[in-house]
Structure 1
């Protein structure tokens, strides 16, 4: 059986998760893993937090706390928020000695095969302090789309901006400091060397890439690919284990593959497996199906740099699918912790049943374009499309509870099979879409709500309600958990799909309001 490894790259450990995070990769990855597992597949779901980006330093400075304290606190907040929303990874990355050694070992292997080259790279530099500025330490204009932002991955166009390439660079640590550009010798991964292999790889994925990722890949391959820094001349990060770069650290955004391998290993160990090394599950001979879920602005790091690193090392499986998402807004404005324009997952889960939250985030998810969250819309949509119709369906099904088994017709079995097929179309990694899954849930529930049940077709009705719940379970985790003895989804040709009778039972109601 092919093993599916679902990975949701961790956020920077500089705060809790807000709904923008959750509506994107985290809920999607959880739903994908739950459905695949219920369908009988071997699945590992890994996520965690990214602890080495220097955004932690700048946020800690703004908050007046040590960066080490902030990243530890943030990691715990993220883990608690995922649990509050029913997002249940098998493995969760923490910052510890094992992780540090694993990352250093990974880059040692890249260095050992000659993939890393020493190059002079331009960086913004502050003469007053003698410090180079990278990523969160420097802001300026993106040389590709002109958007204002920090160095690194551009939120506007998705391209990677080398710190020394920013237009009008300015220090975020001390805005009054004069900034010049100086070169520093660092180790880089020359991405241009992997152009032929990357071109062929992405051609094979073209049918399933979402539009923004496809556009980014096309733009990147239309010009020379950059030398991507693997070490940086700053002090925050994991020490680089190379004699050529004394005092430098590993570039946090270059940790993507090592981080992913680590979370996969943790996921397997959580399931009781013994892993020989963090990378063992990624060996090509194991033939895993690696599925990534991340925001479109992270595409360069995971889809281009990460794949190039795997190609450089050889012997590893390459990712099978990248499921990207756009931004999720709050009241038609970008979520912003610094401006207090934010709703955290824990905050909302303390007020609203999480099944309602999961359904609404799915129904309004930013699969292909920016979408928006408002409390009023959430109250209206969840009430009219989920809570009220489900309670009417549960009331109808409950009328037949306690009366013994009822027959299920062939027509009902065929209808149930079509229902499973429609849900699977939204859940499968190849065409994964939270909004499609939520739409199917809404339409099937409405169909059951319209059903005028009689004694003659009560068995068919109760059978299709049962199958509906199983298919909706990856989203409605609490309702399904209360209503069903197991969460298995009947597959064509199995005994579960050939059910000939069903015993009706009292079904739980959905409760709660959105305030």
Structure 2
């Protein structure tokens, strides 16, 4: 069946540049967006995939302070590390940028335009001020307990339930890094986006987009819409970030989570220049023909589902997201990955030890798409050994006596493989996208081929090539090696298939 070509603009949440990527990070939006992008190109669609370093997060400041580093130097180093890790893991991203003067100018002008249009309004906000740190309590500068789920959290958002907070609602708020958390209230005039004014548009948007939103996102949206929506702070009093540049708001910077929306627009244009310079500028504009698909961890849902969508609605000329694809937390040995607690496995270390395709296969097979998943190195080794390496070794051994010869497939072989292809198309299609389904279905095919290889070499030969074609978005390196072996063999003959994987586990 011929599909109408589609144009996708794919984003993965810009990572905070206070460290390299750990395995929990890699298992989330970066791998998901990469597999989706590769799959859409395989299906004949156009894709631009963009992300970049999130340098202006206050977590960069608190981490640099803890490590005794300059935050600018820390962010620059982490940008390099993250870009390198993505490359090692086979993440084929079209643009991974870091903020420069052009980026900052575009972000400032975006909000200046909203201000001139009357879309941003002034509110008096009370911030606790800590004299010891010289900071207002906000974002990473504040700690406390979530007023929604009661979990310990920092300011702005709860990583556990995803609900927003502010220093007024954060329970038992304290100043990060202060020995004595003594604060005094300071009233500050800031700019906000009044989300409640867009309630009807939010409601209609999610009614139309239910089919391409994950269930947890829809549940979160329903929770948020069950009560008045909060004002979203666009500026706040701090010295780390992009200065507002609007009269009357001296000493304030643009909220980093507000900055991210025009920042992603900038990154998308960099992706266009890299992948498809012949495509007209303005890929994020409403009439560009691109569908926006955004990959993110569930803890960022509020920003993408309300704050960013609200900014898009306020602007009026930008494309709205077609899909918000979230992932849940990936735990390590039963506990959440944590850079600050050093409870982690660095992604570059795991990929360097076992190879990118092996790591990608396992992270897809147990991906935390709809509920938290757990990583342990023992389970990793077991799953890749039994579900990937051993079946491939069995296939190579069974087909070795037939190398260079022709084998014929049985009449029912093509129907079987078409079922596999059809299920993989379902795994890759936007409305039913699933890393788990793609990896599980491909692993099942390998098991079937390995079990039948001795009796039906024709099925094994045809099936392995179908596997290489369809599993390529998940395991691009392995797929390329298999295809190269087939290409090197004489037409219609069995290729040499020994040593397909460079690393044995």
Alignment TM-score, normalising by the size of structure 1: 0.92
Counterpart Cα distance in 1 of 2:308 and 2:249: 22
Q: Is 1:33 matched with 2:37? A: yes
| 1:251–1:275 distance in 2 versus 1, CA, 3 Å | farther
Take 2:280 and 2:356, find their aligned partners in 1: how far apart are those partners?
A: 38
Deviation at 1:274, TM superposition (A): 5.6
Task: Indicate the residue corresponding to 1:173 in structure 2.
Answer: 177
Measured in 2, the distance between the counterparts of 1:119 and 1:52 equals: 23
**After superposition, what is the alpha-carbon deviation per residue over 1:251-304, rounded to whole angstroms, capped at 9, x for unaligned?**
001123212212211111112506775xx1012222211111110000111121
The answer on 1:85 being equivalent to 2:89 is yes
Of 88, 100, 108, the residue aligned with 2:104 is: 100
What are the residue-to-residue correspondences of 1:21-420 with 2, within 5 Å? 21-127=25-131, 131-273=135-277, 280-403=282-405, 411-420=412-421
| Shift in CA distance, 39/485, structure 1 to aligned 2, threshold 3 Å | farther
CA contact (8 A) 2:399 2:453 kept: no
Conserved? CA contact 2:485–2:495, under 8 Å: no
Aligned equivalents of 1:109 and 1:348: distance in 2?
45
Task: Calculate the TM-score normalised by the size of structure 2.
Answer: 0.93
- Equivalent residues of 2:126, 2:185 under 8 A apart: yes
Task: Give the Cα–Cα distance (whole angstroms) in 2 for the partners of residues 252 and 452 of structure 1.
Answer: 55
What is the root-mean-square deviation in Å for CA atoms of aligned residues?
A: 2.0
Residues 327 and 369, structure 1, Cα contact 8 Å, conserved in 2: yes
Give the direction of change, closer, same or farther, for the CA distance of 1:324–1:486 in structure 2 (3 Å limit). Answer: farther
Unmatched tracts of structure 1, length 5 or more: 488-500
Change (3 A) 1:114 1:274: farther
Against the structure 1 CA distance between its residues 502 and 123, is the aligned structure 2 distance closer, same or farther, given a 3 Å change threshold? farther
Alignment size in residue pairs: 496
The separation in 2 between residues aligned to 1:239 and 1:11, in whole angstroms, is 21
Q: CA deviation at 1:49?
A: 1.5
Distance 1:159 1:351 in 2: 38
The change in CA–CA distance for 1:268 and 1:394 in structure 2 (over 3 A counts) is: farther
State the 1:308 CA deviation.
Answer: 1.0
Segment drifting more, 107-116 vs 352-361: 107-116
Q: How far does residue 42 in structure 1 lie from its aligned partner after superposition?
A: 0.7
How many angstroms does 1:208 deviate by?
A: 3.5
Structure 2: how far apart are the matches of 1:475 and 1:502? 27
Q: Is the 8 A contact 1:462 1:502 kept in 2?
A: no
Cα gap change, 1:174/1:274 in structure 2, threshold over 3 Å: closer, same or farther?
farther
Indicate the SS of the match to 1:183: strand
Q: Secondary structure at the match of 2:55?
A: coil
- CA pair 166-180 structure 1, distance change in 2 beyond 3 A: farther
Q: CA deviation at 1:5?
A: 1.3
Query: Structure 1 residue aligned with 2:500, among 497, 504, 509?
Result: 509
Inter-CA distance 396–289: structure 2 relative to 1 (3 Å threshold): farther
1:498 alignment counterpart? none
Query: Which residue in the other structure is 1:443 paired with?
Result: 444
Task: Provide the C-alpha distance between the structure 1 equivalents of 2:133 and 2:437, rounded to a whole number of angstroms.
Answer: 53
